Structure formats: C-alpha cells, structure tokens
C-alpha cells in the first residue's frame, strides 16, 4: 500500500514532468540567429556530457569491480547477513552501486537536456511577455526537478520491490542498497566537479581576455569563449546540481529507512517506508507550487517564485501531517505521530531559514554586500578582504540553525513515546528539509536557463528593451542559484548527521562494539584532523583546477584574436567550437585529481588505522569532523562568491561611480575571485560531504 | 633538586638576557636624524602598549572577579580537593589568573622594550658591517626570547614552590595553577589581537593612500602613517608574539605537569617536574645557539641563523636525553627513559619539519610562490585565486606531520613500560617541539627589528648600498617571521592535544564519569560544529577589525595630504603622532568584539548544554573540533599571506616585468589581502586555540 502510493505518485510526477516538457517545447524558438546560438550551446553541452560520462564510466567500473571483490572475498561474515552467499552480497553491493551511478548520470543528463532547450524558448518569449518567459524557465526547471526527485524515489522504491520479490526480509533491504547512495554520490561528485571546473574555466577565461584585455563586453559574440561560457551554465549548474540533489534525496532516503528499521517493533514496515511516502507528498506539493507561479510585466519575478515556494512548503507540511498520522501511529506510542510531524515542520522551517540567511548575505539590499561595495572604493584588496570576511562571518547563523534543528528534532523524537527515536526525529527533520526539493531544484535550474536566455538575447543583438527583460530574469536567477546552495548545504548537514548513525549501525552489525566515537583518543582526533584537512585540500585542488583549465581558454582566445584580427573587428566569425573542445578536455583532465584524492583518502585513513586496530572509529572521526569542516568551508566559499558577485552588480546600478569606475574595476576582481569559490569548490563540497558518508558506509566492513 | 636546577637555569638565562641587552645597548645609535625617527617609533609603541594594557586590565579584572565568585560560591565540591575552604580555592584560581595575566603582559612589554631600542642600533651597525647588524638584531631578539621562556619557568616553578611552602601536596598543585595558563592566554589574546590589528591597519592604511593614491614609495617620510607602520611591527610582531609564546610554554608546562601527576606511582615528584627541567635545558641550548650566529659581508644571513637553530636543536636533544635518564627512570620501568627521549626527538623533528614546510610554501625559490607570481600576469583575480588555493593546500603536509608526531609519541609512551603513559608520550613530544622556543622567538623578534632598521635607514635617506644591506636583513626577517608562525601553530596543535586530556582529567576529578567525548551524540556534534564556527567567526571579526581601523588611518592620511599640500612637496613635516594616536584608539576599540566573542562563546555553549545535562562533553566537542578548525584556518591564513608577500617580492626581483609592471600591481593586491590574514587573524588564532583549552579548563567545574 505505502509502496504503491509512492510508486503512483512518482509515476504521476514523471508524467507531469513530461507534460511540462511538451508544454515548454511547443513554444516558439525564436529567430534563425537565436537558433544558431542555441544550437551551438546545445552541441557543446551534449558533447561535454558525452565525454564526461565516458570518463566517469572509466572511473566507475573499476570501483564497482573493487567493491565486488572486497565484498566477495574480504568481507567478514555477520550473524544476520541478509544473504547467505558472499558472492550474492557482492553482486548486490556492486550492482546497486552501478545502478545508483546510472540513475545519477540520468538525473544530470535530464537537467542539461531540458535546460538547453528551454533557454531559447525563454529568450524568445521574453521578447514579448515577461510572465511567459518566467513560466517557461521555471517549468523547464521543474521538468528536471520533478524528474530527479521522482527518479530517486523510483530507484529506491524499485530496488525495494525487486529485493522483496526475491524473498529478502524487508527490514534487511536498506543495508543491501547502501551501494546505491555511494554510486549516486560518486557520479554526482565528478558531474559537479567537472561541470564546475568547465563553467568557471570558461567564464574566467572569457572575462579575462574579453573584458579585461580586449575591452569587449560580457557575452559579446566576438569572444571565442562566449559559447563555452554559456555551455558551462548548463553542464555546471544544471547537470551538476541535478546529480547533487538526486544524490541527496537518494542517500537521505536510504539513511532514513535504515533508521526506520530500528523502529520496527513500533511501526513495522510502515516506519521503513515512511521516508518514501512523505517524499511523494513533497512531489505533489511541488507540482502545485510550480503551477501557481505567474507574474505581470511590472511585477517582481522573485516574489512570484517565492509565492510558489511558500505554497509548496505549506502543502508539504500538510502532507507530512497526513503521512505521520497514517504511518507513524502505534498502540504503544499514540502520541508519536504529532511529535514526528513537528520534526518535519522543524526541517521545513530550517529550509526556509537557510533561504533567508543566504539572501541576507548575498543580496545587495543588505549590509554585507553593501559593505563589500563600499570597500571597493579603496581598491581590489579591500574588496577581497571584506568579501572574504563576509564569507567567514556568514557561517555563524546557519550553524545556529543546524544546531537548533538537530537538537529540537532529536528531543522531539526522544519524547515521542518511541524508545530510542531521537535520531529518527532528526531524520524526519531532514526529510522535511528535503520535502520541497523538487520545487527548489526547479528554482535552481531556472537560474542557468535565464542566464542562457540573456546570453542568447545579447549575442543575437536584440533591442535594449528586450535585454532589460531578460536581465531581470537573470538577476532573479542569480538569487535562486544562491538560495539553492544555502538549501543544499543545510540539507547536506542534516542528512550527514543521519548517515553517521547509519555508519555506526553498519559497524555494529559486524559485531564491533563501537559504543562511542571518542575524539579524545589520539587516533580519532587524528582521523578528524585528516577529515578537515581533506576538505581544505579538496577545495585547493578544485580551485587550482579551474585556474589550470582557464589557462587553456585564455591561450586559445588570445591565439584566435592574434591570428585572426578580423574577429575583433567584427568581420570574421570566431571558432566557438575550438574553445568548447579545449575547455571540455581541460575540465575533464583537471577533475580527476581532486576526485581521486577525496575518494582515496578515507580509504587510506581507514586502512592505516585498521592496522592499529581502531579503523572504524578513526574513520568515523574523519567523517564527522570532515563534515563539519565541509559545511563551514562550503558556506564560506558559496556566500563570499555570491556576495562579491552582487557587490559588483550593486555598483553597476550606479553606486560609487557605477560601471567603469575605480570601484567597479575593483569589484570585478572580487567577482572573478568568487567564481571558482561559489561555482566549483563550494558546490563540489556539498557532494563531498555526502560522498564521505556513503563511501565510509559501503567500506565500513573493511575497516574493522 | 629538580626545582633548584630549574630555578638556577632560569635565573642564569635571565642574567644572560640582561648581559645581551647591555651588549646591544652599548652599540652606536646612529645619526641624530635616525634617532629622531627611532624616538618617534619608541614613543608610539610605548604609548600604544600603555593604553592597550589599561584596556586589557579593564577586561581582566572583571574576569578575575567572576572566577573568584564562581569558585567561591558555585563550584561543586570534590572528595579530593587540594584545599578545604571554597574561598581558598577561589583565591588561588583568581590569583593565579591575575598572576598569569601580569606575567604575560610583562613578556609582551619586554619584547617591545628591547626591539624598539635594538632597531636603531641594528640600522646603525648595518651601515658598516652586515655581521654586526645581524648579531645585534638577533641578540636583541634573544633578550626577549630568553626572558619570555625563563619567566614562564620562573612563574610556574615559583608558584609551585610557593604552594609547596603552604603545605599543599605537590601532586595537587598543577590543578590549582591552571588559572595561570588562562590568565596568560587571556592577555596574550588581546595583546596579539590588538597589536595585530594595529600593525596591519597602519600598514594597509599607509600603503593604500601612500603607494596607491599618492604614488610615493614604501617607508617614505612624507607619509604621515609611516611611523605608525613601524610602530606596528613592534607592538604586533614583538609584543604580540612574545605574549603568545609565553602563553604556549606556560600552558604546556602546566598541562604536562598534570599528566605527570598520573605517573606518580612510577616517578614520584620527578615526573611532575620533568617538564620544567627539560625546558631549562632548552634555555641553555638556546643561549649557545644565539652565540654562534655570525656571518660575513657576502654570506647568507639566513644560513647563519639556521646554523644557530641546528645547534640549539642538537643541544636540546642531548639535554632531553639527560633529563629523561635523570628523572624518568623507575625500577618498575627501566626502559621508560629512552622511550620518552625518543618522544622528545619526535617533537624536535616535528618542529624542524614545520620550519621546512613553511619555507617551501612561502619562499619564492619553490613552486607555490612561483605559481602565484605566474598567475599575477593575468591580473589581481588570478593572483588571489592561486594564493588562496596555495593557502588551502598547504594544510595537508603539516597535518600529516602532526598526525605522525602524535601517534608515534603516543605509541612510544604506551610501550615505555609505564602503564597509561601514551598521553604523557605526546606531552614529551610537545616539550620537544617547544624545547627550542627561546631560540625560535629570538629569530622571530629578529624580523620586526630588521624591518624597523630598514625603515629607519629608508626614512633617514641613507645611501643605496646601506639600503641593500638592511634589505637583505629585512628579507631574512620576513622568512624567520613566517617560520615562527609555522612553528607556533605546530606547537599549539600538539599542546592543545595535551590540554584536552587535562580538561578531561579535571572533569573526572568532579566525579563525572566522562569516559569518552562521543562526537556521534548530537549535542557533542553540535558543540563541535559551534567550535569550528567560532573559529571562522573570530577570523571574520579580526579581519573586519583591521579594515575598520585601516579606514581611520586612510581618512587621516588623506586629510593631512589635503589640508597641508606641503607634505607631499616635501617642504612640510607630516604629523606622525596624530596618525599613531588614531591607530592606537582604533585598534583598541576594534579588538574588543572578537575577544569578547571568543571568550563568551565556550561559556555560552557550556551553560546551554549544561541545562541539557551534557555540558562537559559538549564543551569538549567544541574544544577539540574548534582546535582542528583553528589549526587549519590559521595555517591557511598564515601561509597564503606569506606566499602573497613573497610572490610580490619575487616579481620585484625582476620577474614578469619587475616593479611597476602589470604583474607587480596585481601582486601588490595579493600582498595587501594577505596582510590581515598573516599578521592579524592567523597569529590571533594561535592564541585562540590555546585560550579555548585554558578557558574550558578553568570553567570545567561549572559545566557539570
């Protein structure tokens, strides 16, 4: 019944996504000139994704093989193994890893597929009707949002059904499909990292040679890197974030189901399936939210999007109430349902708080961005110093929100009448936070679509009035992109806490009496130190990778300008494709090192400390402290980047001399510095946080 | 006997410091013009320290009062209190807090006192003889180095003697004098923070208006902020670092003595006094190291300083062997002494490794700084991105060194034949690392002295040949300053691990069965999250404070240039004093907020979680994860700052177009950004790491 409900809702959401896609596609796709540009973007994006997936496949298969071999030959048996034969367990682990990887890849592909077709239609509609432009962009984004969340439900629910059909006891299934989460995060990491490097290498490269050296405006068609820059929005923001949030919801589903197993005496199977059901309610709520968004020519598109978000939140809250009342009642714990409902509301409130905090720190209405703009008057150095300080400062309130959310939901769970349900309470809060995921992802994908639409309008030299319209959409898109990052990091923080306990459960399954992760032990302290260091090192490598890839772009653009002077004169067409090829190769080459480091390090620490007899606990230290450091560093990088970006935009509205002033030149430096922070290292760290959890979960048996 | 040896060595070192001071002072103090400048620096530095100490006193007294009241009225009694009356305990706690605060203040004052008198003599000597200049600067630095370490020994040893005389059992004394460490770190925090804000506000302010706006060179006498800039070197680098390292050695002494108490059955009082004795050997070794430093006109001063460092290290290693053989032998554990000797050697090796790693990441001979210089060719943005990535990256190897040092010494301790001596092993490694503290502090103080000497030569318009000489000393000083920061953070990391266990011991003294700091508990995880956030927030506030204080300077310099055009023409003398006054007031005002936050937050977390019944463990989480985050963030800030600085210097040697080129302009931006990183936030974080330990140690009874 619960499973059926989930499957029906997921299929409904998929069908609805299909309808939305049809609706988007039937819109006008503009002038031939616009189509030429859009086609170039599409080709570039598809070519990148194709080559990226080949690279990822080359990395995934060996890992799958290693997992199979480890589970088949080196895994210590437990007294309550769900399957008797090691090779059966091994095939399940490796199989669900590959399945998760494929699903994650599809999620990314769909995000990109829709956005490269929606951008031109948004541009075309915006020429006459702002509301239509807004709706096309949002509904295009919703295709990917609904698809990603529905697929994560179908994946987990489908695996569940499949394994039940094979006669495996339902409460043992979650432990079998942890590989699914690892597969999803493994692919999400490389998708986000490769896409993030691509988008910022192209952006930084295009800006440095175009704006700074040649003095031509942004998105000018004479710049050979301009198409690569637009491609980057699709492969970095759409494909990357799609894979990221797919992974979040999948990992969180599994983690919550594992916790639900512990409540079997109270709720039976219903507790295990509860996460799927409330997620299904969230899908329905998101559909309603997307459909109510409309604006007028003079209206504020951001307000329209916010209205949709509020409606989604309210409906999800109601859905949570229904889900809790339906599934989490038990004669032994009659009060439990409303306690868990409150946990869900805590999560929804935390999501909203994250959205507001991010707005405060990255919008130019407020003090932080204004202070960066003021500091730009005394040059680039003070702009950078102030922006970085804002980035560090803005970790404070989110941490308080996380603290309050975890503690409140933990205590609600503890007092629900269900013994030992504290962690399940935090799990329900996490579900609440991720309840609106489909809508938030739609808002997020809106960003690059609007950005691309603006680029297409600019490159096809449309009138100033049209540009103003797409600029308004683009500005809103920048905000929604920033909000999603705040949301993603908040949900990663909550979800990680959930996955910690899954890790500890898994370790205990093997009979290891791991009662505590005692960070006062030197080995655990060092594990923690290594985890935090890993996060810093990863960020360094990701940022360096952008610099290296951008260098290829800079050289190529310079070469084209130098060898064919007609380009700058406007008499000759630059070779966009060559630039796209170069960024593609560069980004894929550069994503390997940071990815391998982040996957290899937890394994190395685990094996070293295994030798010292304390592997599982030291790895737990690495996982938890690494997560803390990741949350803080990602928040710092995301928000400082967003704040620099908007400080520049604020000056462009005319403050401190406006465009071209000394302050503006300084602010452009800050904006460029922030690019790899906010679009490469920061978002990749979201995935890293979850990857640390899923990789340690899958490899836990080998650290004992 | 042990105590007598320690006291004699300390007095010997003090006497020697006095002789060195006499030797330095008898040197020629230059031309009247040089004296005018030097007098202005001295006046400014003394005025700042006087006002700073008044402010610190105003902050210290209420804290002492609160400690007294807490210990007298709210402290839960324990079965083995060293004193029977609460008011007695309270007076000891508050008294040792004040005593520690005063000692720390004296340590800072002495550092400043010597350096403002040595700078002019170094300048004067360097006019004719490079070796003499080097020796004066180093021996001036050694006065402060020897004084600071000797005083920390006399303070702890003296308190010990005093309390013994009052009939308190020797093994209970360390617990009574933990307030001493808190007092020392409390003052060190404000000394380093206020001095760090001062020095960088003056530096950034002077550079932005002088170099960038008015186009006059660095240290030009027409710049009204130039004296304030030179004053800053003395109050930030000398006074601040003096208080910092005083605090390190004092806190580490007490922490190690507390651990020694646990080994009472084996070594009796000798184990408790061991830390003091080996520190005394380190003092003797440092004296020898300082005395062998000499160079020739063509020699490399850095090599000369390194020779002294190697000698100090070798002699300290021998002293450790003697100390271990003398004090750590017991019939029950005949093998113990050489195990602990090896621990000490591990610490000495770790210190050396930190010095080398810091050199690799901050000197322009090596890849990291070169890569920043290369990136400067494409502008300020790529310079900043690359530099920040270098800063993040350079956390990796130091963490490995810390990990190896902690683990090796822990296992050596465990296998020493003494039961439960693992932690004592890490304590001995920490002592080893801090064994060369006096010499390292001498090298560190060398930096600002050489910097000031260069400034005096520049401002008194000496010949180019003389400038080249002081420039060489100055360049070496920049290196030694960077090395000391690496050394300080490494020793803070090791010492903190030692203080964790002191905290846990203290908590257990009150009968709380705190067997583990279980970071998998939500409260402890949140404590950890709060600790890491606190470090980020503190860094943000410290960096912002520099910006605000610099703003006052900028306005003042602009005002003087504007109102009195004769200044820039060279016909009128600027008012240095007014600038000095303004920075003084600004820095003192701005240091309060970050300081209060860092002191208040652990208390707040402790009290909130006390209400939830898990105060002590949550605070332990805050302490340990906060320490990890502090180590990483401080390393990032210190080394990125140092690397930016030297990337600029590398370009000034002629690379990529040399001075005045586009690359140089970009590199100047990076250098300016790095200033508050490496000289305010980074060094203050060293103190924060230790302050977290000492404050939680003192307040532990109230979190239960």
Q: What is the pLDDT of residue B383?
A: 94
Nearest residue to B422 via CA among B508, B514, B336, B327: B336
What one-character DSSP code corresponds to residue B77? P
Q: What is the pLDDT of residue A266?
A: 86
The phi, psi pair for B333, rounded to 5°, reads: -140, 75
What one-character DSSP code corresponds to residue A328? S
The H-assigned helical ranges of B363-459 are: 367-376, 380-393, 396-414, 422-435, 437-459
Residue B443 scores a pLDDT above 80: yes
Q: Which two tokens stand for residue A152?
A: 């994560």
CB atoms within 10 A of CB A33: 14
Residue A509 scores a pLDDT above 80: no
- A683-701 average pLDDT score: 89
**DSSP secondary structure of A8-61:** HHHHHHHHHHHHHHHHHHTS----HHHHHHHHHHHHHHHHHHHHHHHHHHHHHH
Residue A692 pLDDT class (50, 70, 90 cuts): very high
User: Which residue reads 């059904």 in tokens?
Assistant: A161
Q: What is the pLDDT of residue A79?
A: 61
Residue B83 pLDDT class (50, 70, 90 cuts): low
Each residue of A204-213: pLDDT tens digit? 888 888 877 7
**DSSP secondary structure of A253-306:** HHHHHHHHHHTHHHHTHHHHHHHHHHHHHHHHHHHHHHHH----SSS-HHHHHH
* Mean of per-residue pLDDT scores for chain A: 89
CB atoms within 10 A of CB A29: 17
Percent pLDDT > 90 in chain A is 46
Residue A230 scores a pLDDT above 80: yes
| Residue B566 in contact with partner chain A when CB distance is under 8 A | no
Half-sphere exposure of A663 (CA within 13 A, CB side): 21
Paired strand residues for B333: B330
Q: Which two tokens stand for residue B195?
A: 């001095």
Each residue of A295-341: pLDDT tens digit? 888 888 889 999 999 999 999 999 999 999 999 988 888 888 999 99
Residue B555 pLDDT class (50, 70, 90 cuts): confident
Each residue of B485-517: pLDDT tens digit? 888 889 888 888 888 888 888 888 777 777 788
Nearest residue to B703 via CA among B621, B598, B646, B647: B621
Work out the angle at residue A185's Cα, subtended by the Cα atoms of residues A181 and A187, and round it to the nearest 5 degrees. Answer: 120
Residue A6 scores a pLDDT above 80: yes
Q: Which two tokens stand for residue A586?
A: 């560069």
Question: Do residue A533 and residue B208 have CB atoms under 8 angstroms apart?
Answer: no
Q: What is the pLDDT of residue B304?
A: 92
B-contacting residues in A 209-248 (Cβ below 8 Å): 212
Residue A84 scores a pLDDT above 70: no
Each residue of A474-493: pLDDT tens digit? 888 888 888 888 898 898 88
Residue A10 scores a pLDDT above 80: yes
Residue A26 scores a pLDDT above 80: yes
What residue of B is the nearest CA neighbor of A208? Answer: B378
Each residue of A27-44: pLDDT tens digit? 998 899 899 889 989 988
Nearest residue to B115 via CA among B485, B452, B440: B452
Sign of CA dihedral B206, B210, B216, B220: negative
CB-based contacts of B71, cutoff 8 Å, min separation 6: B86, B89, B90, B93, B94, B701
Q: What is the pLDDT of residue A177?
A: 78
Q: What is the pLDDT of residue B139?
A: 94
Say how far apart CA A188 and CA A191 lie, in whole Å: 5
CB atoms within 10 A of CB A500: 24
Each residue of B393-421: pLDDT tens digit? 999 999 999 999 999 999 999 999 888 88
Question: Do residue B375 and residue A547 have CB atoms under 8 angstroms apart?
Answer: yes
| Residue A379 in contact with partner chain B when CB distance is under 8 A | yes
Question: Do residue A540 and residue B403 have CB atoms under 8 angstroms apart?
Answer: no
Residue A552 scores a pLDDT above 70: yes
Residue A83 pLDDT class (50, 70, 90 cuts): low
Residue B213 pLDDT class (50, 70, 90 cuts): confident
User: Which of B518, B543, B672 is closest, CB to CB, to A388?
Assistant: B543
- A527-551 average pLDDT score: 94
Residue A138 pLDDT class (50, 70, 90 cuts): very high
Q: Which two tokens stand for residue A260?
A: 């639900």
Q: What is the pLDDT of residue A470?
A: 87
Q: What is the pLDDT of residue B673?
A: 94
Burial of B699 (0-12, 13-18, 19+ CB in 10 A): buried
Say how far apart CA B160 and CA B3 lie, in whole Å: 9
Burial of A307 (0-12, 13-18, 19+ CB in 10 A): middle
Least confident of A371-375, B250-254, B544-548: B250-254
Residue A495 scores a pLDDT above 80: yes
Sign of CA dihedral B517, B519, B524, B528: positive
| Residue B83 in contact with partner chain A when CB distance is under 8 A | no
Question: Do residue A379 and residue B497 have CB atoms under 8 angstroms apart?
Answer: no
Show residues of chain A in contact with B406, CB under 8 Å: 522, 525-526
User: Residue A133 in contact with residue A55, Cβ under 8 Å?
Assistant: no
User: Which of A406, A625, A636 is closest, CB to CB, to B536?
Assistant: A636
* Phi-psi category of residue A417: left, alpha or beta, with phi > 0 → left and psi -120 to 50 → alpha: left
Each residue of B221-268: pLDDT tens digit? 888 888 898 898 888 888 888 888 888 888 888 888 888 887 888 888
Residue B81 pLDDT class (50, 70, 90 cuts): low
What residue of B is the nearest CA neighbor of A636? Answer: B536
User: Residue B130 in contact with residue B96, Cβ under 8 Å?
Assistant: no
The phi, psi pair for A415, rounded to 5°, reads: -100, 20
Residue A264 scores a pLDDT above 90: no
Instruction: State the nearest Cα–Cα gap between B407 and chain A, in angstroms.
Output: 7
- B3-13 average pLDDT score: 90
Question: Do residue B529 and residue A392 have CB atoms under 8 angstroms apart?
Answer: no
Helix, strand, or coil (residue B176): helix
The CA radius of gyration of chain A, in Å to the nearest whole number, is 24
User: Residue A549 in contact with residue A582, Cβ under 8 Å?
Assistant: no
Q: Which two tokens stand for residue A219?
A: 């998105």
| Residue B311 in contact with partner chain A when CB distance is under 8 A | no
Biggest alpha carbon–alpha carbon distance for chain B? 81
Say how far apart CA A237 and CA B495 lie, in whole Å: 44
Residue B482 pLDDT class (50, 70, 90 cuts): confident
Q: How far is the CA of B34 from the CAs of A353, A644, B327, B448, B459, in angstroms?
A: 60, 45, 52, 17, 8
Question: Do residue A382 and residue B208 have CB atoms under 8 angstroms apart?
Answer: yes
The CA radius of gyration of chain B, in Å to the nearest whole number, is 24
Say how far apart CA A180 and CA A254 lie, in whole Å: 9
What residue of A is the nearest CA neighbor of B395? Answer: A533
What one-character DSSP code corresponds to residue B244? H
Q: What is the pLDDT of residue A650?
A: 93
CB atoms within 10 A of CB B473: 25
Helix, strand, or coil (residue A333): strand
Q: What is the pLDDT of residue B488?
A: 87
Residue A20 scores a pLDDT above 70: yes
User: Residue A364 in contact with residue A655, Cβ under 8 Å?
Assistant: no
Residue B143 pLDDT class (50, 70, 90 cuts): very high
Work out the angle at residue B396's Cα, subtended by the Cα atoms of residues B392 and B398, and round it to the nearest 5 degrees. Answer: 110
- B45-63 average pLDDT score: 91
Residue A505 pLDDT class (50, 70, 90 cuts): confident
Residue B342 pLDDT class (50, 70, 90 cuts): very high
Burial of B526 (0-12, 13-18, 19+ CB in 10 A): buried
| Residue A687 in contact with partner chain B when CB distance is under 8 A | no
Question: Do residue B673 and residue A385 have CB atoms under 8 angstroms apart?
Answer: yes
Residue A70 pLDDT class (50, 70, 90 cuts): confident
Least confident of B332-336, B347-351, B524-528: B332-336
> How many A/B residue pairs have CB atoms within 8 Å?
232
Instruction: Specify the length of chain B in residues.
Output: 704
Q: What is the pLDDT of residue B84?
A: 66
Residue B89 pLDDT class (50, 70, 90 cuts): confident
| Residue B327 in contact with partner chain A when CB distance is under 8 A | no
- ipTM over 0.90 threshold: yes
Paired strand residues for B518: A518
A320 or A468, greater pLDDT:
A320
Instruction: State the nearest Cα–Cα gap between A425 and chain B, in angstroms.
Output: 12
Instruction: State the nearest Cα–Cα gap between A560 and chain B, in angstroms.
Output: 17
| Residue B280 in contact with partner chain A when CB distance is under 8 A | no
Question: Do residue B528 and residue A393 have CB atoms under 8 angstroms apart?
Answer: no
What residue of A is the nearest CA neighbor of B673? Answer: A381
Residue B82 scores a pLDDT above 70: no
CB-based contacts of B298, cutoff 8 Å, min separation 6: none
Q: Torsion over CA of A489, A495, A500 and A505, rounded to 10 degrees?
A: -170
Question: Do residue B620 and residue A520 have CB atoms under 8 angstroms apart?
Answer: yes
Say how far apart CA A561 and CA A571 lie, in whole Å: 12
B-contacting residues in A 628-667 (Cβ below 8 Å): 628-629, 631-632, 636
User: Residue A197 in contact with residue A239, Cβ under 8 Å?
Assistant: no
């Amino acid at each position: 019944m619960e499973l059926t409900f989930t499957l029906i809702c997921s299929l409904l959401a998929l069908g609805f996504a299909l309808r939305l896609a049809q609706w988007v596609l039937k819109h006008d796709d503009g002038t031939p000139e616009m189509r030429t540009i859009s086609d170039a973007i599409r080709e570039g994006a598809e070519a990148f994704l194709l080559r990226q997936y080949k690279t990822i496949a080359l990395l995934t298969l060996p890992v799958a093989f290693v997992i199979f071999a480890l589970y088949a030959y080196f895994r210590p048996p437990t007294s309550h193994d769900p399957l008797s034969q090691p090779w059966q367990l091994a095939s399940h682990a490796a199989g669900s890893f590959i399945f998760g990887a494929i699903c994650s890849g599809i999620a990314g592909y769909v995000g990109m597929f829709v956005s490269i077709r929606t951008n031109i239609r948004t541009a075309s509609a915006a020429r006459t009707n702002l509301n239509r432009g807004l709706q096309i962009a949002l509904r295009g984004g919703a295709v990917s949002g609904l698809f990603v969340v529905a697929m994560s439900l179908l994946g987990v629910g489908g695996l569940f059904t499949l394994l039940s059909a094979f006669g495996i006891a339902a409460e043992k299934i979650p432990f079998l499909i942890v590989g699914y989460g690892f597969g999803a995060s493994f692919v999400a990491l490389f998708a986000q990292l490769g896409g993030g490097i691509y988008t910022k290498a192209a952006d930084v490269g295009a800006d440095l040679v175009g704006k700074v050296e040649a003095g031509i405006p942004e998105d000018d068609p004479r710049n050979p890197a301009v198409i690569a820059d637009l491609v980057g929005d699709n492969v970095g923001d759409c494909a990357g974030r799609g894979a990221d949030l797919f992974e979040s919801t999948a990992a969180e589903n599994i983690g919550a189901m594992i916790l639900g197993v512990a409540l079997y005496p109270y709720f039976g199977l219903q507790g295990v399936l509860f996460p799927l059901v409330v997620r299904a309610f969230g899908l329905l709520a998101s559909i309603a939210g997307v459909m109510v968004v409309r604006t007028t020519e003079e209206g504020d598109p951001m307000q329209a999007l916010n209205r949709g978000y509020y409606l989604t939140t309210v409906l999800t809250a109601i859905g949570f109430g229904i889900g809790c009342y339906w599934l989490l009642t038990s004669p032994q714990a009659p009060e439990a349902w409303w306690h868990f409902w409150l946990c869900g509301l805590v999560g929804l409130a935390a999501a909203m708080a994250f959205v507001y905090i991010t707005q405060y720190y990255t919008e130019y209405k407020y003090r932080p961005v204004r202070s960066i703009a003021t500091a730009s008057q005394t040059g680039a150095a003070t702009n950078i110093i102030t922006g970085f300080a804002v980035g560090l400062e803005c970790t404070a309130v989110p941490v308080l929100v996380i603290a309050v959310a975890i503690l409140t939901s933990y205590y609600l769970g503890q007092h629900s009448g269900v013994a030992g349900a504290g962690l399940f309470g935090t799990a329900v809060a996490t579900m609440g936070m991720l309840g609106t995921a489909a809508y938030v992802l739609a808002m997020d994908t809106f960003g690059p679509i609007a950005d691309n639409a603006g680029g297409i309008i600019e490159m096809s030299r449309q009138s100033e009035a049209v540009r103003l319209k797409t600029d308004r959409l683009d500005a809103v898109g920048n905000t929604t992109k920033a909000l999603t990052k705040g949301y993603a990091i908040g949900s990663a923080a909550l979800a990680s806490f959930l996955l910690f306990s899954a890790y500890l459960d898994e370790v205990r399954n093997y009979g290891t009496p791991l009662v505590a992760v005692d960070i006062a032990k030197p080995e655990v302290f060092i594990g923690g130190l290594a985890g935090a260091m890993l996060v810093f090192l990863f960020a360094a490598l990701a940022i360096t990778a952008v610099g290296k890839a951008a260098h290829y772009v800079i050289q190529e653009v310079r070469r084209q300008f130098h060898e064919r002077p007609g380009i700058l004169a406007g008499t000759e067409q630059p070779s966009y494709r060559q630039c796209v090829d170069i960024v593609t190769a560069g980004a894929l080459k550069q994503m390997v090192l940071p990815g391998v480091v982040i996957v290899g390090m937890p394994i190395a620490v685990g094996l070293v400390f295994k030798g010292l007899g304390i592997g599982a606990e030291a790895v737990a230290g690495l996982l938890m402290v690494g997560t803390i450091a990741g949350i803080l560093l990602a928040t710092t990088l995301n928000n400082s980047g967003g704040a620099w970006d908007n400080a520049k935009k604020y000056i462009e509205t005319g403050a401190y001399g406006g465009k071209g002033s000394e302050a503006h030149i300084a602010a452009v430096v800050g904006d460029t510095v922030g690019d790899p922070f906010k679009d490469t290292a920061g978002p990749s760290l979201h995935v890293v946080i979850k990857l640390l959890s899923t990789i340690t979960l899958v490899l836990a048996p080998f650290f004992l």
